[in-house]
Amino acid sequence: MDNGLLLLPELEPFREQIYATQKSVMRLIPQPAADTLPWQTKIGGHPYLPKGVDFPVNAEGQHLFFLAQINFAEAPHLAPFPESGILQFFISDDDFFGQNLDDPFAQQAFRVVYFAEITENPDALITDFSFLRAYQYLPLPANTSFPIAFHPDVELMPVEDWRFEGTFGTGFFEQFGDQEWEVYEEYVDLTLAEGHKYGGYPDFAQEDPRSPENPLELLFQLDSDEAIQCQWGDMGVANFFIHPDALAKCDFSRVLYNWDTC
């Protein structure tokens, strides 16, 4: 991000502090719906699934819904994410889209799957998904695949982030007196965290579910988006979070899944 970005005069004394919060992000830009290769990065459609590997199911044994997958070999490398392999996200089609508010780490109504080694031999892959059941409540249309383009970028810490007060101080915007809301809105515009992506800062319709006890980073975000007919409640957003140490080990067994709506 260009450190020469224009700031309100009130924010100028905090320029270095603001830019010290920079995080790298990989934006995921959906392309028009199209047929995709099994190993291709995509939102919706059908997943990469080697023969002999079971399609993920929920606690009742019902097939989960395939949400998206990232083939890291197709993207510019973004540390500490893997340089290769496919990471997949599945959710249940219940009226909470698989979210468990009591235990958001419990991968029973959602699942995160990682394939470190990839084959591009179609004969070794499941390509007929006619065995899947008819789904009920979904944030995306079933059987529609949206290819993805990648755009590396950087982001600044938004006010919704649980670390904001610890970084800038409690009541940061109150010091600007009559200009409080003008400065607040300017900062919000500078730090918009919406969109589809991995890495960077998450966006929330309500509040950050993380805490000092769960210092997690954004693994993947899928936003409401008319272009891909994606809708989380009333223009909400879904996030998956992981501990940095687990991400460095490619251990996706403990991931927090959260979505909220306006």
Tell me the percentage of the chain whose pLDDT exceeds 90: 95
Strands 110-115 and 42-43: unpaired
Q: Where does the pLDDT of residue 3 fall: very low under 50, low under 70, confident under 90, or very high at 90 and above?
A: low
Mean predicted confidence (pLDDT) in 203-209: 94
Which residues are CB-contacts of 26 (< 8 A; sequence separation ≥ 6)? 75, 76, 78, 81, 150, 151, 152, 153, 197, 198, 199, 200
pLDDT of residue 1: 54
Q: What is the pTM of this model?
A: 0.96
Cβ neighbours around 182 below 10 Å, total? 13
What is residue 5's predicted lDDT score, i.e. its pLDDT? 74
pLDDT digits (tens, 9 = 90+) for 145-199: 999 999 999 999 999 999 999 999 999 999 999 999 999 999 999 999 999 999 9
Q: What are the tokens at 111?
A: 């699942």
Report the candidate in 154, 113, 112 with the shortest Cα–Cα distance to residue 26: 154
User: Token pair of 83, please?
Assistant: 């340089």
pLDDT of residue 213: 85
Average pLDDT, the chain: 96
Which of 226, 237, 220, 223 minimizes the C-alpha distance to 114?
220
